[in-house]
Structure 1
Amino acid sequence: MAASLASLARRSITTSLRNASASGGSGAHEGGTKQWKMLSYLVALPAVALCMVNAFMSGEHGRPEFIAYEHLRLRTKRFPWGEGQKSLFHNSHANALPDGYEEGDH
């Protein structure tokens, strides 16, 4: 029984290898590759271009008014760099500290 199962498995493997080599190996995937390539060029790239145009045409908005809400900008311990109040990627124009913006309005 075990010998016949091994023989059957060997036959199925050699048959599948023979079929794959006869079809060129990638015959079934050529249409899919072409389809995704065309979708990338005709859908994805124009979508990225439209998003870029939208981002640059929207203009610059002013920063929001500072309101000292109790649940925002909590500092339970100091940051380990600088004076401890500014985050690692702090932007003095856009990010408020717990007591307000650093610089005045431009």
Structure 2
Amino acid sequence: MVVFGRISQALLRSSLTQSRQLSASAAHGHGEQAARTWKILSFVVAVPGVTVCMLNVYLKMQAHAAHHVEPEFVPYSHLRIRSKRFPWGDGNKSLFHNSEMNALPDGYEGRSE
């Protein structure tokens, strides 16, 4: 039992010494230097990385849209059922309706097929 007490006291002393050393190093400007390093890394690595990713997605979207062919509208009876009108607009379009991608029960808007 005495040995356990001595070991726990030694561990406690070492942890106190470590915490004092950490707080002392922070007082000498180590925290400021680390914050400056992360700020520089954010502007030099993160911002250009996000910019390159955004450019890549934009260019791929443009290439996809250039050769995108819309499928022919087929008025299947089980799709686009309107048993009750929507409570907004003309009652025929869903809340997140996209006139280029979503067809109405009688076809796409502004196109005659």
TM-score tier after normalising by the smaller chain length: 0.5 to 0.7
Query: 2:72 is matched with which residue?
Result: 65
Of 31, 39, 44, 1:38 maps to 44
CA distance in 1, matches of 2:36, 2:75: 60
Residue identity (%): 36
TM-score by length of 1: 0.57
TM-score by length of 2: 0.55
Flag structure 2 segments of 5+ consecutive residues without an equivalent. 1-15
Query: 1:99 is matched with which residue?
Result: 106
How big is the alpha-carbon RMSD for the aligned residues of Structure 1 and Structure 2? 3.6
CA distance in 1, matches of 2:78, 2:24: 68
Q: Is the 8 A contact 1:96 1:102 kept in 2?
A: yes
Looking at secondary structure, tell me which structure has more helix per residue. Answer: 2
Spell out, residue by residue over 1:25-74, the C-alpha distance to the aligned partner (whole angstroms, 9 max, x if none).
33334333333322224422122222222222331623222234455323
Q: Is the 8 A contact 1:93 1:101 kept in 2?
A: yes
Give the length in aligned residue pairs: 98
Q: Is the 8 A contact 1:93 1:103 kept in 2?
A: no
